[in-house]
Chains A and B, each alone.
Chain A
């Protein structure tokens, strides 16, 4: 069974640009979660999508947005990049809300210069 995949592995942008990160969940999983792991700030919940709808959102500004496609893959968009957006962005998927067991991908390392 293939795990959660994310692309790209690394992404380098400059301040003010936009970044798009992609995630493919485990086959059969309908929920996708995004987390930010920034140095010194730990793992912070960003967004949760289920069946194409945004179900919950963490304490992040509106320039962090995303969507979930009909095939359950997901995209995270970060507009007007700031230096502090540099982090590892982790995507996770789950089969539903039973026990909320989330399986994580390898992450996308975003560097903002």
Chain B
């Protein structure tokens, strides 16, 4: 079974500071990994994805994430936070392999609310 753990339900940073949102996953097969962002009263927008190519993945809005198999981690970072980055962020995992109960679905972490202070 797959699972995702996001460490820290709330993260607060100052504008211009480093953003680090933590995600650890559990999967019995090679995973695909995703980060999504959700602004209030909206759906989810894909920030970036890992699909077993490069381990350092660059996404939209200056975000990037590094896949570390040995640590089963896929942390999201951004060098300098903007006020517009304030939102809820979700890490998700999916199964590369066909068949099985986890096939086709995304399993999400509980989300991390990012607050950016002026």
Report which A residues bind B (CB closer than 8 A): 4, 31, 33, 35, 42-43, 45, 48, 50, 55-56, 58, 90, 92, 97, 99-107
Contact indicator B105/A58 (Cβ below 8 Å)? yes
Contacting pair A100 B32 (CB below 8 A) = yes
Residues from 77 to 107 in B contacting A, C-beta threshold 8 Å:
90, 94, 98, 101, 103-107
Q: List 7 A-B contacts (CB under 8 A).
A: A42-B108, A43-B111, A45-B107, A50-B104, A100-B94, A100-B106, A103-B46
| Nearest Cβ on chain B to A1's Cβ, whole angstroms | 14
B interface list, Cβ under 8 A from A = 32, 34, 36, 42-46, 49, 51, 90, 94, 98, 101, 103-111
- Complex Cα spacing A77 to B81, Å: 41
Shortest Cβ distance from residue A104 to the other chain B in the assembled complex, whole angstroms: 4
- Tell me whether A56 and B43 are in contact in the complex, defined as CB-CB below 8 angstroms, given that A99-B51, A100-B32 are known contacts: no
Contacts of A106 in B (CB 8 A): 42-43
Given contacts A42-B111, A56-B101, contact A102 B106 (CB under 8 A): yes
Partner of B106, one of A4, A45, A50: A45
Contact of B104 among A4, A56, A101, A105 (CB under 8 A): A56
Determine if A33 and B108 form an interchain contact, defined as CB atoms under 8 angstroms apart.
Answer: no
A105 to B44, CA, bound (A): 7
A42 to B113, CA, bound (A): 13
- Least distance between A38 CB and chain B CB atoms (Å): 12
Q: Is the CB of B105 within 8 A of A56?
A: yes
Q: Complex Cα distance A35/B104, Å? A: 12
Q: Given A42-B110, A43-B90, A99-B51, A48 and B45 touching (CB < 8 A)?
A: no
**Residue B105 contacts which of A33, A99, A101, A107 (CB distance < 8 angstroms)?**
A33
In the complex, which residues of chain B have a beta carbon less than 8 angstroms from the beta carbon of A58?
105
Complex: A58 Cα to B109 Cα, angstroms: 16
B108 touches A43 (CB 8 A): yes
- The answer to whether B46 and A97 touch across the interface, beta carbons within 8 angstroms, is no
